[in-house]
C-alpha cells in the first residue's frame, strides 16, 4: 500500500456499498489522527449540504455516506470527497467545538457480573472475570491498576452505532498505553442495558439490552438512549453521545450509583458537561498534559 | 378503530418506506423489506407513496374489519381468504364491516403485504410509522401485532374508484426456491483471499433458520481471510476489523462459514469485515427468500446496479400509472 507522505497514513480506500452507499476506509488501523480526519471530512461534507446526500456516518477509522443515486451519482460524490480529503490533509491545527462530559460508571457491579458469569463457556478464560483477564493480557499487575487506567484518562467518542445511541470510545492516551482486548469467542445472547464494555481498542456503553461480544467491566447508571426523551439531555435527540464528545468515565460506588438511578427515574438527572474546544494537535503531542487540562475544565469551578 | 387482530400470525408488523436520515445515530431504516410489493399495494388502493401497511411474514394473521375498507394483498404466494373464501391477491378488494381476512399456507416467497386505503394510522416516530422491534419503537406500540390489537386507518383518498383493479400478470413476480442476488464487491473485500472470493461467488448457499428483518444468514461454503498482523484497535480474530459502518445489504462473514446479509433492522456498524453489498433492486427478492432456499451471489459493477435500480423505478411507475 502506498503511504501518503503528507498524513503519514495509507491512501484511503473508496468503495461502493451497493448503489446507495459510499464507504471510505481511511486506514485499517485505529489512531487518534485517523479519527480526527474522519470527523473533519464528514463535518465539512455536512456543511456543504450536498443534494442527494441522505446520511453522513463518521466512524473510527473510516466513514460512510448514504446517497440517493437518482440525485447524486456515487462517482460524483467520491470525486468531491477526494478533494475534501486533500483539503483536510493531516488535520494540523484541527479544532473541534465539542463538550466534555462526566460519565459515572460502577465497575464490577452485580448485574454485569451475573451476566458475564452466565457466559463463561463463551469466554477466552472461563476461570477469570473479564476484568481479570483483560488486566492480565494488557500487562497490568492487578485488575485495580487496570481499572485505574480506564478511569484515569478521558475518551473521545469516535463512532455511534451498532444500535441507536451506542458510543465507541477511544482513550486519549499515547498508542503504547492503549488497551486492547479480544471480543468473546462467541457472543453472549444477553448484555444488560447500560453495560460498560470493551472490545478491540474501544470502550462502549450498551444502549439497550441485547446480544454482545465485548468484555464486560461495569454498569453506567445514566442512559445513553432515551426513546421517550424524558431527560433534559435528550430534549433534542433520543441519543446523548455525539461524535467528537470527550467523555471521562468516573468510578462510582453503589451508593452514588443508586442515587443517580433514582434521579434518572424521577427525571431530574442531567450529565455534568462543559463546552470545550478540542485541539487535535495537543491531544497528539502531549496527551497526558492535555488531559489534565480537559479534566480541569470539566471538574473545576 | 378499523381492524381488530383476531390472531397475529407469526410476525406481522406495521411498515412504510422506512425511517431515513438517522443512520449516524445507529438507527436502521426499518420499513418494508420487499419495497416492490409494498409500493404496488399502495398503488392498488390509491394511497399516497409512503402510506403504512402490514408486513406479514411466513404465516398470516386473522384480521377483522370493523368498518368498510378497500384493501389489497401483494407479495408472497400466500393465498388470502375473506370469510373463508379464497380472495385474489395483487387486486383491489372491497371488504365490509365484520369481514375477516385470513391466509392459507405459504406456497412461495416469504412476506405478504396488506395495503388498506388510507393507510394504517400508527403514530409517526422520527418521520416514519415503521416498526423497529429491537428498541420497541414505531409501528403499533413498537412491536409485532398481538391478538386483540386494534388498528386505526387514515383518511382514504380514492379507495372506492380502485376496487377491482388488478396488476397485470407480467408485473406479478414469481418466487422460486432459487434466488440470484447481484452484489457489488467492495468495502473490506481485500480481507478475503482470492480463492475465497471465487468460492463465495460460486457456491450455492442455503438460507439458514436465522433469516429475519435484521439479516439473512447462509451456509454452504467456507471462506478464508488474508493473513495479516491485526491492525491496532481491530481485535485478534482475522474476521475482525476496526469497527466501521455497515451499509444496508452489506455482507459479512464472521468465522468464515456463515455469510450474513444485513437487512432493514440491522445493526449499523461493527467489527466484522464486510465484503460487498447486495444491490437495492435485488433486496426485494432477497426478502422473499426463506429458510432452506438456495441463493447465489453474482458480482456486478456500479453501472449495472444503477440500471437495475432505474428498471425497477420505471416498472413501478408503469404499474402506478396503469392503476391510477
Q: What is the pLDDT of residue B24?
A: 95
- Please give the span between the terminal C-alpha atoms of chain A, in angstroms, as a whole number: 49
pLDDT per residue as tens digits for the range B9-55: 999 999 999 999 999 999 999 999 999 999 999 999 999 999 999 99
Q: What is the pLDDT of residue B159?
A: 74
Contact residues on chain B for A27, CB-CB shorter than 8 A:
231, 242
Contact residues on chain A for B136, CB-CB shorter than 8 A:
227
SS3 of A81, please?
A: helix
Find the helix or strand (DSSP H, E) in which A97 lies.
strand A95-107
pLDDT band, very low/low/confident/very high, at B1 (cuts 50, 70, 90): low
Compare CB distances from B280 to A18, A164, A178 and report the shortest one's residue.
Answer: A18
For chain B, which domains are there? Answer: 3-173 (no CATH), 178-312 (2.40.100.10)
Compare CB distances from B24 to A31, A75, A160 and report the shortest one's residue.
Answer: A160
- How confident is the prediction for chain A on average, in pLDDT? 94
Q: What is the pLDDT of residue A3?
A: 45
Mean pLDDT computed over B256-279: 95
Please tell me the distance in Å from A253's CA to the nearest CA on chain B: 29
Do the Cβ atoms of A19 and B245 come within 8 Å?
no
Q: What is the pLDDT of residue B97?
A: 97
Give the dihedral of Cα atoms A40, B25, A101, A187; nearest 10 deg.
Answer: -110
The whole-angstrom distance between residue A249's C-alpha and the CA centroid of its chain comes to 12
Do the Cβ atoms of A16 and B184 come within 8 Å?
yes
pLDDT per residue as tens digits for the range A37-82: 999 999 999 999 999 999 999 999 999 999 999 999 999 999 999 9
The answer to whether B130 faces chain A, any CB pair under 8 Å, is no
How many C-beta atoms surround the C-beta of residue B286 within 10 A? 21
Contact residues on chain B for A17, CB-CB shorter than 8 A:
184, 186-187, 247, 249-250, 277
Residue B183 pLDDT > 90, yes or no?
A: yes
ipTM of the predicted structure? Answer: 0.96
pLDDT per residue as tens digits for the range A237-249: 999 999 999 999 9
The answer to whether B278 faces chain A, any CB pair under 8 Å, is yes
What CATH number belongs to A13-91?
A: 3.30.1360.40
Do the Cβ atoms of A17 and B186 come within 8 Å?
yes
CB B80 within 8 A of CB B112: yes
What CATH number belongs to A97-299?
A: 2.40.100.10
Do the Cβ atoms of A30 and B135 come within 8 Å?
no
Give the dihedral of Cα atoms B193, B244, B126, B266; nearest 10 deg.
Answer: 40
Do the Cβ atoms of B269 and A159 come within 8 Å?
yes
**A289, three cell numbers:** 498534559
Contact residues on chain A for B280, CB-CB shorter than 8 A:
18-20
Please tell me the distance in Å from B1's CA to the nearest CA on chain A: 25
pLDDT band, very low/low/confident/very high, at B237 (cuts 50, 70, 90): confident
Q: What is the pLDDT of residue B235?
A: 85
Contact residues on chain B for A182, CB-CB shorter than 8 A:
235-237
Q: CATH 3.30.1360.40 region(s) of chain A?
A: 13-91
pLDDT per residue as tens digits for the range B189-221: 999 999 999 999 999 999 999 999 999 999 999
Contact residues on chain B for A178, CB-CB shorter than 8 A:
232-233
Do the Cβ atoms of B247 and A17 come within 8 Å?
yes
Contact residues on chain A for B232, CB-CB shorter than 8 A:
29-31, 175, 178, 180, 201
Q: CATH 2.40.100.10 region(s) of chain A?
A: 97-299
Residue A294 pLDDT > 90, yes or no?
A: yes
Q: What is the pLDDT of residue B249?
A: 98
Instruction: Name the pairing type of β-strands A246-251 and A95-107.
Output: parallel
The answer to whether B134 faces chain A, any CB pair under 8 Å, is yes
Compare CB distances from A162 to B183, B234, B268 and report the shortest one's residue.
Answer: B268
Do the Cβ atoms of B245 and A63 come within 8 Å?
yes
Three-state secondary structure string covering B111-168: EEEEEECCCECCCCECCECCCECCCCECCCCCCCCCCCCEECECCCCCHHHHCCCECC
Q: What angle do CA B237, B241, A251 make, to 5 degrees?
A: 85
The answer to whether B159 faces chain A, any CB pair under 8 Å, is no
DSSP B198: H
pLDDT per residue as tens digits for the range B137-154: 999 999 999 999 999 999
Q: What is the pLDDT of residue A8?
A: 63
CA distance A1 to B214: 35
Least reliable range by pLDDT among A156-160, B12-16, B254-258: B254-258
Amino acid at each position: 500500500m502506498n503511504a501518503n507522505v503528507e498524513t503519514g497514513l495509507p491512501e484511503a480506500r473508496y468503495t461502493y456499498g451497493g448503489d446507495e452507499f459510499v464507504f471510505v476506509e481511511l486506514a485499517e488501523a485505529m489512531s487518534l489522527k485517523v479519527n480526527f480526519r474522519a470527523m473533519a471530512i464528514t463535518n465539512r461534507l455536512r456543511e456543504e449540504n450536498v443534494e442527494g446526500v441522505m446520511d453522513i456516518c463518521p466512524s473510527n477509522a473510516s466513514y460512510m455516506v448514504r446517497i440517493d443515486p437518482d440525485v447524486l451519482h456515487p462517482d460524483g460524490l467520491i470525486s468531491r470527497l477526494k478533494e475534501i480529503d486533500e483539503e483536510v490533509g493531516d488535520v494540523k491545527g484541527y479544532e473541534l467545538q465539542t463538550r466534555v462530559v462526566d460519565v459515572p460508571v460502577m465497575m464490577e457491579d452485580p448485574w454485569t457480573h451475573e451476566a458475564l458469569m452466565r457466559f463463561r463457556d463463551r469466554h477466552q478464560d472461563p476461570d477469570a472475570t473479564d476484568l481479570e483477564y483483560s488486566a492480565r493480557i494488557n500487562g497490568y499487575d492487578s485488575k485495580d491498576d487496570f481499572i485505574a487506567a480506564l478511569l484515569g484518562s478521558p475518551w473521545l467518542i469516535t463512532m455511534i452505532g451498532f444500535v441507536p445511541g451506542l458510543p465507541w470510545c477511544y482513550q486519549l492516551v499515547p498508542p503504547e498505553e492503549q488497551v486492547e482486548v479480544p471480543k468473546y469467542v462467541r457472543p453472549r445472547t444477553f448484555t444488560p442495558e447500560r453495560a460498560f464494555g470493551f472490545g478491540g481498542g474501544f470502550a462502549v456503553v450498551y444502549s439497550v439490552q441485547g446480544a454482545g461480544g465485548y468484555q464486560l467491566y461495569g454498569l453506567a447508571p445514566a442512559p445513553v438512549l432515551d426513546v421517550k426523551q424524558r431527560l433534559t439531555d435528550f430534549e433534542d435527540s433520543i441519543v446523548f453521545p455525539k461524535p467528537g464528545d470527550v467523555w471521562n468515565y468516573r468510578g462510582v460506588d453503589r451508593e452514588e450509583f443508586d442515587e443517580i438511578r433514582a434521579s434518572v427515574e424521577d427525571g431530574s438527572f442531567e450529565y455534568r458537561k462543559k463546552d470545550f474546544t478540542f485541539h487535535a494537535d495537543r491531544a497528539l503531542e502531549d496527551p497526558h498534559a492535555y488531559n489534565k487540562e480537559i479534566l480541569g475544565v470539566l471538574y473545576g469551578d | 378503530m378499523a381492524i381488530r387482530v383476531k390472531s397475529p400470525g407469526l410476525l406481522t408488523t406495521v411498515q412504510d418506506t422506512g425511517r431515513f436520515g438517522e443512520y449516524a445515530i445507529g438507527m436502521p431504516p426499518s420499513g418494508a423489506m420487499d419495497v416492490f410489493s409494498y409500493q404496488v399495494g399502495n398503488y392498488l388502493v390509491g394511497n399516497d407513496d409512503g402510506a403504512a401497511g402490514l408486513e406479514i411474514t411466513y404465516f398470516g394473521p386473522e384480521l377483522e374489519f370493523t368498518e368498510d375498507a378497500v384493501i389489497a394483498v401483494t407479495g408472497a404466494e400466500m393465498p388470502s381468504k375473506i370469510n373463508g373464501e379464497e380472495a385474489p391477491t395483487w387486486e383491489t378488494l372491497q371488504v365490509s364491516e365484520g369481514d375477516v381476512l385470513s391466509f392459507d399456507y405459504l406456497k412461495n416467497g416469504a412476506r405478504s403485504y396488506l395495503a388498506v386505503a388510507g393507510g394504517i394510522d400508527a403514530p409517526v416516530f422520527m418521520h416514519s410509522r415503521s416498526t423497529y422491534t429491537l428498541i420497541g419503537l414505531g409501528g403499533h406500540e413498537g412491536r409485532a401485532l398481538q391478538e386483540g390489537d386494534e388498528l386505526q386507518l387514515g383518511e382514504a383518498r380514492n379507495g372506492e374508484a380502485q376496487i377491482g383493479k388488478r396488476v397485470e400478470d407480467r408485473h406479478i413476480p414469481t418466487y422460486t426456491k432459487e434466488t440470484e442476488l447481484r452484489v457489488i464487491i467492495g468495502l473490506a473485500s481485500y480481507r478475503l483471499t482470492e480463492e475465497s472470493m471465487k468460492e463465495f461467488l460460486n457456491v450455492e448457499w442455503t438460507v439458514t433458520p436465522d433469516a429475519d428483518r435484521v439479516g439473512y444468514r447462509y451456509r454452504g461454503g467456507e471462506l478464508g481471510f488474508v493473513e495479516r498482523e491485526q491492525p491496532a484497535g481491530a481485535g485478534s480474530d482475522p474476521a475482525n476489523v476496526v469497527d466501521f459502518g455497515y451499509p444496508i445489504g452489506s455482507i459479512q462473514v464472521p468465522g468464515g462459514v456463515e455469510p450474513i446479509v444485513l437487512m432493514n433492522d440491522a445493526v449499523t456498524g461493527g467489527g466484522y469485515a464486510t465484503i460487498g453489498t447486495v444491490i437495492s433492486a435485488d433486496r426485494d427478492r432477497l426478502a422473499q427468500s426463506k429458510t432452506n432456499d438456495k441463493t447465489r451471489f453474482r458480482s456486478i459493477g456500479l453501472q449495472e446496479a444503477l440500471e437495475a435500480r432505474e428498471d425497477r423505478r420505471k416498472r413501478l411507475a408503469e404499474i402506478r400509472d396503469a392503476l391510477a
